[in-house]
Structure 1
Amino acid sequence: MTRVARSPDCGNSPTNAKAEEIALALMGVGDLRVDLLAEGASWERFGAAVTGRAAIAAALGDQPAHEWIEVSEVVTHGKAGSVSGRMQRAGEPPRIFCHVIRFTSAKAGQIAQIVSFDHAG
């Protein structure tokens, strides 16, 4: 089971908490409800970009296992948010990560685009 240290930035913001939940689901911790994705949503990540609800849902099943994830910062404003921190996959050194999430509106009802990256750090 992945150990997760959550960000203190989410305590007073439902949108921050939602962004953190989405980012963790992208990393294989928890589930991402498919209805949160706009029909033409895209997920740009290392190796390949995927477009559409079904393609993103399928890609979520291919996430590597993590030993631990530490979310250090969550920021949302308007139609965008970012979640960043550190993580370690099984058998690898720690890495830093960031997920940038663009919603279809400032109400954060659906996701239009996700850009994810990680690197040694």
Structure 2
Amino acid sequence: MAKITLKTDCGHSPKREFLKDFNVAFGKGNIKFLTDSVTDDIVWTMVGDKTITGKESFFMAIRTMAEQKVAECVIEKVITHGKEGAVNGIMKMVNGKEYAFSDFYEFKNSKATDITTITSYVIQI
């Protein structure tokens, strides 16, 4: 089980809490929660790498990523406003590698938590 470290308080903001939970789900490999949280036409751009389009492709990518076990997920900041949000932090893998990430999210609308786009910046540190 991955250790989760939160350096931000997400209280009193449902969308911030949702993005925290979404990123914790990445760390824990909770594929169902992740795929249930995106729209059918999700577009996930991993800058400098690839773009994944559609829920089925998203599911396949998440399933492949879940094979790489996370030792710790450190969430530094969670920011939301309207139909947009951002999260940054560090993923420490069981194999000793560490990755800094910043993810930018767009929701279906300002009230929904259905994610329509994700833009991810990831660097190995």
Aligning the two structures, in what range does the TM-score lie when normalised by the shorter sequence?
A: 0.7 to 0.9
Q: How is 1:14-93 mapped onto 2 (pairs within 5 angstroms)?
A: 14-30=14-30, 31-45=32-46, 47-63=49-65, 64-93=68-97
Question: Residue in 1 aligned with 2:98?
Answer: 94
RMSD of equivalent CA atoms: 1.9
Structure 2 unaligned spans of 5+: none
Structure 1 unaligned spans of 5+: none
Deviations, residues 47-102 of structure 1 (Å, cap 9, x unaligned): 32111111111111111211111101000001111111122112234331111111
Number of aligned positions between the proteins:
121
In the aligned structure 2, how far is the partner of 1:48 from the partner of 1:27?
Answer: 21
- Normalised by the size of structure 1, how large is the TM-score? 0.85
- Normalised by the size of structure 2, how large is the TM-score? 0.83
One-letter amino acid matched to 1:116:
S
3-state SS, counterpart of residue 64 of structure 2: coil
**Identity across the alignment (%):** 23
